Structure 1
Amino acid sequence: MSLRVGYVREHFSSPLLQYEADDDRKTFTLVECPSGTGQLIGRLTNDEIDVAIALTDPLISGIAKGSEAYKLVGSYVNTPLNWAVITGKDTKYQSIADLKDTTIGISRHGSGSQTMAYVMALQQGWSTNDLQFKVNNDIRGLIDSVNDGSTSAFMWEWFTTKPWVDAGEARFIGSVPTPWPSWMIAAHPTRAPADGLRVFLEKLSGYVRAFDSQENREKADVEFIKDKFGYPEEDITAWLKTVGYPVDCATIDTKVIQETLSVLEKAGFIVSPDGGFKVDHFVNADVAKLA
């Protein structure tokens, strides 16, 4: 059985794309999800994919809110994600503080662009009960919305958004790094067989370790990203200085789940049940190893 693996076509996905290029037996098929983690979760729910490589916070908050469409099976990026706060080219907004009581653009409900807006509000001391959102589906829709005035700003990964800023279509007014490692791997609890997932994660780990090596960071990684995504070399080099990958993709740090839940609860995005959250509830223990 070929696994259907959902992913976002961004520079973070480079090791996955390298694995897919070498997968002669076609043990998995990539399904691009340009709208991000909210779309990935929706496709897991709707039986359109079996596995998702997605942002940590929406994956964890989805399970916390009752989703049974997936469990966590692994880790993918163990460094924070730097979320840029972006507004339109000619708007009045000059800083994050200016966004209080305005409408924030998001890709989908439950997406990283929404959960990080709650984190931003927590940091600013705003009431999260007052946050207002407008769904704009993807990066193009988000940029259009900050320029037509229907939203004040949106949040997206810094280097992914930078080409639009460089082109003069939008402006950066701040950034909010995640307080947790940024990417994890989730899978449907029955559609993705444990044996197939173990093989997928073991082989993916090899590509991740190769990509993360100092030797490849100096040249091969830069050339691959330049060829696949067209980013300027200076942006690729700057990003590589900020990102780190796990040695073993099938290992999940218990503290990541606990601390992410704690921040999301403080931000008002999730509500803890009586007795608190149980880490075991979030993980498929037949596949992942908790550390």
Structure 2
Amino acid sequence: MPLRIGYVREHFSSPLLQFAEADGGKTFTLVECPSGTGQLIGRLEKDEIDVAIALTDPLISGIAKGSTAYKLVGSYVTTPLNWAVITGKDAPYNSIADLKGTTIGISRYGSGSQTMAYVMALQQGWPTNELQFKVNNDIRGLIDSVNDGSTSAFMWEWFTTKPFVDAGECRFIGSVPTPWPSWLIAAHPTRAPTSELKPFLDTLSTYVRAFDAPEKRAADDVAFIKDKFGYPEEDIKAWLKTVGYPQTCAEIPRQVILDTLDVLHKAGFVQRPEGGFDVGLFVNTDIASLV
């Protein structure tokens, strides 16, 4: 049975989409999760997917909070994610500082939109235990929420949100880049066998390296993203200048896990156990190398 790969259909997924087109469903099928990483983790828990390509911070915090539905098996994007802070088109908020004490929209509890709200609060010096959230599922629900006033703002990836801002549906009032590389790969410990997962990661690595090549970035990548996502060329080129991919997907830097846990602990999102975190508990080392 082909591996079920959960993903978010955004420009970051382009190498995965290219691999899927070539594979034709023989070794894996894609399962779209438009609500983001919170939905991906939920689907891993419910046996709806076997593998998730998802945001670093919710994956790591989920394991830190005791989830046994997955372990980390690889890296996907090595650069930070630029989270835009977005408010309603007529909302009274004009800067991140204006959001103190208000209700922030999130897609789901445990999602990147929630963990990054903690990071934003940490940067602003706000008490993180006083943060208030409202769940709005996906970007459509989040935009509706900031415009009907039930939330003050939400956080979502900059270029994914930009078309809505350009259309006048909402406004950017700031951004918060992640203090860690943005995307990792996780898999259920038994439903994604090593014999299938290792070849998947090895071949994904070849598509990632091809997409990351300078000559592809100059033309082919732009054309692919424009065709698949309809973004303006200038936005695609601007994004390509900011993104980096690993040479091999089956490696995870130990420091990425430690640094992410350190920030999430300082933000009050995870609690450090006595004696500190054991990085080995976060990774399936039969699949991925800790480097």
> What letter matches 1:164 in structure 2?
F
2:62 counterpart of 1:62 = yes
Equivalent AA in structure 1 for residue 21 of structure 2:
A
Tell me how far apart the structure 2 counterparts of residues 281 and 108 of structure 1 sit (CA, whole Å). Answer: 25
Equivalent residue number for residue 35 of structure 1: 35
Higher alpha-carbon deviation: 171-180 or 271-280: 271-280
> Using the alignment, how far apart are the partners of 2:77 and 2:25 within structure 1?
26
Kindly state the Cα deviation for residue 195 of structure 1 after the two structures are TM-superposed.
1.4
Q: Structure 1 103/24 Cα, relative in aligned 2: closer, same or farther at 3 Å?
A: closer
Q: Name the SS of the counterpart of 1:185 in structure 2.
A: strand
Match in the other structure for 2:158: 158
Structure 1 residue runs of 4 or more that deviate by more than 2 Å after TM superposition: none
User: What CA deviation, in whole Å up to 9, does each residue of 1:82-109 have, x standing for no partner?
Assistant: 0000000001100000000000000000
Q: Deviations over 1:196-231 (max 9, x none)?
A: 110000000000000000000000000000000000
Task: Kindly state the Cα deviation for residue 117 of structure 1 after the two structures are TM-superposed.
Answer: 0.1
Equivalent position of 1:238 in the other structure: 238
Report 1:131-150 matches (<5 A). 131-150=131-150
Question: Deviation at 1:24?
Answer: 4.0
Q: Structure 1, residues 28-67: CA drift from partner, whole Å, max 9, x if none?
A: 0000000000000000000000000000000000000000
Q: Distance in 2 between matches of 1:26 and 1:226?
A: 27
* Structure 2 residue 195 is the aligned partner of structure 1 residue 195: yes
How many angstroms apart in 2 are the aligned matches of 1:116 and 1:272? Answer: 18
Residues 134-190 of structure 1 deviation map (CA, whole Å, 9 limit, x = unaligned): 000000000000000000000000000000000000000000000000000000000
Aligned length in residues: 291
SS at match of 1:48: coil
Q: Equivalent residue of 1:219, what SS? A: helix
Classify the secondary structure of the residue corresponding to 1:5.
Answer: strand
Hey, what does 1:21 align to over in structure 2?
21
Partner Cα distance (2:254, 2:7) in 1 = 24
Deviations 1:230-266 (A, max 9, x none): 0000000000000000000000000000000000000
CA distance in 2, matches of 1:161, 1:127: 27
SS in structure 1 opposite 2:222? helix
Distance 1:280 1:146, change over 3 A: same
- Conserved 8 A contact 2:74-2:252: yes
Indicate the SS of the match to 1:129. helix
Matched residue, 1:277: 277
| Structure-2 separation of matches of 1:166 and 1:201 | 36
Letter in 1 for 2:28: F
Q: Structure 1 regions of 5+ residues with no counterpart?
A: none
Match of 1:100 in 2: 100
Amino acid at match of 2:8: V
Name the CA distance, whole Å, in 2 between partners of 1:131 and 1:197. 39
Is contact 2:2-2:25 (8 Å) kept? no
User: What SS is found at the alignment partner of 2:209?
Assistant: helix
Counterpart of 1:279, as a letter, is: V
User: What's the % identity of the aligned pairs?
Assistant: 80
Counterpart residue number, 1:183: 183
Structure 2 equivalent of residue 91 of structure 1 = 91
Question: CA offsets per residue over residues 63-89 of structure 1, 9 Å max, x none?
Answer: 000000000000000000000000000
Query: Partner residue of 2:260?
Result: 260
The alpha carbon displacement at 1:274 in A equals: 1.1
**TM-score, length-scaled by structure 1:** 1.00
Aligned equivalent of 1:126: 126
Amino acid in structure 2 at the alignment position of 1:43:
R
The SS at the match of 1:172 is strand
> How many Å apart are 1:273 and its aligned residue?
1.0
What is the deviation of 1:25?
6.0
Q: 2:155 is paired with a residue of what secondary structure?
A: strand
The whole-number CA distance in structure 2 between the counterparts of 1:223 and 1:234 is: 12
Give me the whole-angstrom Cα distance separating, in 2, the residues matched to 1:290 and 1:273. 21
> What root-mean-square deviation, in Å, do the aligned CA atoms of Structure 1 and Structure 2 show?
0.5
Q: 1:8, 1:193 → 2: CA distance?
A: 23
